[in-house]
Structure 1
């Protein structure tokens, strides 16, 4: 992923991929690598349900599946927390694969979401972050107000589509999102890299959970599936938001964290001409087969769980 020189190091005001350097992986570890607002918490929850096989999780999701590169918790604390875990570990990151160590014992899950819907969710998410609390936990000088709050959603979205950002230093830009997904797409034939599409989780949650269990080698009793699938629905997770949102008090409202949960938000905002401009823009940033898969209708897009090419 990182080539001969090793992983690319990404640092921001709240995260540092260098915290992965020297991390002692175990056989069977799972790393969940997503852009924010792409279904990270949903994927964590699904992994938790498959591993523990009960909705009654033994701890809050953020403790069971810590965000290793996030600066809100000291690195040594995160390492110690993971070292104490005796269950199969599943670790969160928003880093792309080329910023992470390569380990054949690890399964890397990358969850993709239609970028426009991701952007709409990101716009709303910025106003739900407690900037003061984030500054307190990281010790870094953060923005005093969310940039998205300065513009209407439509204007911000149009700027997001057209902005020619450096994808390495602006990973939440459209080029950054496509770089993250493009790196995973290029490695989709590897036996330990799985791509999951948010829209397919919406369309067929049980089928996607069964497929993921199969690829992770987790046997689930047939009688347990209805309970596990219900526990992974958007409605159930929103109802238990305080146990699932990232910890540390950085999220103002747990229910707002689970704001909508269904595809199509951007299409309700932009005109046909603006959507065409988006399609042209995204086509310039990624391989045609990735773009087609990412934007396929919910009924025809397939999770890359069975693709072992």
Structure 2
């Protein structure tokens, strides 16, 4: 068991999640925690971890069971804990809460992933449209432009501009980030093999080059989409209208042809209040060029 965790300074709670559930988790030295804003590459990284930890390009990631979303309040906590505590293989757990809302163990590996906030919003719209079960769906109410302005203006909610920025700031504000790997969705699109190598080094996993090549190939977006039954949360359970639709597409600049200059000016004004120019550039574009 790792040393005692730093106590969270905040609590993240909305209609579907509650970060306080993490207080019941007993960490292990080799645990991996993936925490991202929704629709920022969470499942993609969970799939990569399943591939790396197994060394098998045909692994059944089964992330709902093997890499559960600890914060999700719909799942009884006792059931979640039983699942986590009985796992004998190396564990990787999921969160959408900012780091300042989670226990922080020095020996645990943390991975955060970020994406252009507007792409997050439009991806979440598609995500909610694909949900079959009857739960609260806020981003699909009204037109695309109307929901976008709610994303900008609402301060609290499951996916808002403020929540995305707060998550990003929580990782940037970590004093010691030696056990934290910060990734960007665009960089994963640009050079998946390089990001794969970064994740492998971060969690201390090595495979021969030919094995790594096969794992990287299995993690490409189109391959994960084609194998949705192995990678999509709750696949085959009727939660989604389409399991493959969970991986809608990996495109960026989803606002093009939907938002007008006035909409983008409103976004520019809001995010400029929340982030410095350099932080804004990285949150939107990662380590590569803008656009």
Matched, 1:205 2:192: yes
* TM-score, structure 2 as length reference: 0.89
Shift in Å, 1:171: 4.2
Query: Matched residues in 2 for 1:23 and 1:149: separation?
Result: 34
Matched, 1:268 2:270: no
| Corresponding residue of 2:266 | 277
How do 1:10-25 residues align onto structure 2 when only pairs under 5 Å count? 10-25=12-27
Unaligned runs of at least 5 residues, structure 1 = 133-141, 302-309
| Corresponding residue of 2:48 | 46
Q: 262-271 or 231-240: which moved more? A: 262-271
Matched, 1:239 2:226: yes
Shift in Å, 1:220: 1.8
Query: Matched residues in 1 for 2:238 and 2:121: separation?
Result: 23
Q: 13-22 or 152-161: which moved more? A: 152-161
Query: Matched residues in 1 for 2:86 and 2:95: separation?
Result: 19
Q: Contact conserved, 2:133 with 2:239, CA < 8 A, in 1?
A: yes
Alignment partner of 1:149 out of 129, 135, 140: 140
Query: Matched residues in 2 for 1:270 and 1:152: separation?
Result: 11
Shift in Å, 1:150: 3.1
Shift in Å, 1:217: 1.4
| Corresponding residue of 2:167 | 180
Taking structure 1 as reference, are residues 300 and 42 closer, same or farther at Cα in structure 2, changes over 3 Å only?
Answer: same
Taking structure 1 as reference, are residues 232 and 24 closer, same or farther at Cα in structure 2, changes over 3 Å only?
Answer: same
- 1:44-100 deviations in Å (ceiling 9; x for gaps): 011111111112225522222111121332212221212222222110111111111
SS of residue matched to 1:148:
coil
Shift in Å, 1:297: 7.0
Query: Matched residues in 2 for 1:130 and 1:87: separation?
Result: 32
Query: Matched residues in 1 for 2:289 and 2:51: separation?
Result: 26
Q: Contact conserved, 2:185 with 2:286, CA < 8 A, in 1?
A: no
Query: Matched residues in 1 for 2:32 and 2:187: separation?
Result: 20
Query: Matched residues in 1 for 2:72 and 2:286: separation?
Result: 34
| Corresponding residue of 2:244 | 255
State the superposition RMSD in angstroms.
2.2
| Corresponding residue of 2:281 | 292
Unaligned runs of at least 5 residues, structure 2 = none
Taking structure 1 as reference, are residues 18 and 210 closer, same or farther at Cα in structure 2, changes over 3 Å only?
Answer: same
Q: Contact conserved, 1:171 with 1:177, CA < 8 A, in 2?
A: no
| Corresponding residue of 1:104 | 106
Shift in Å, 1:128: 1.7
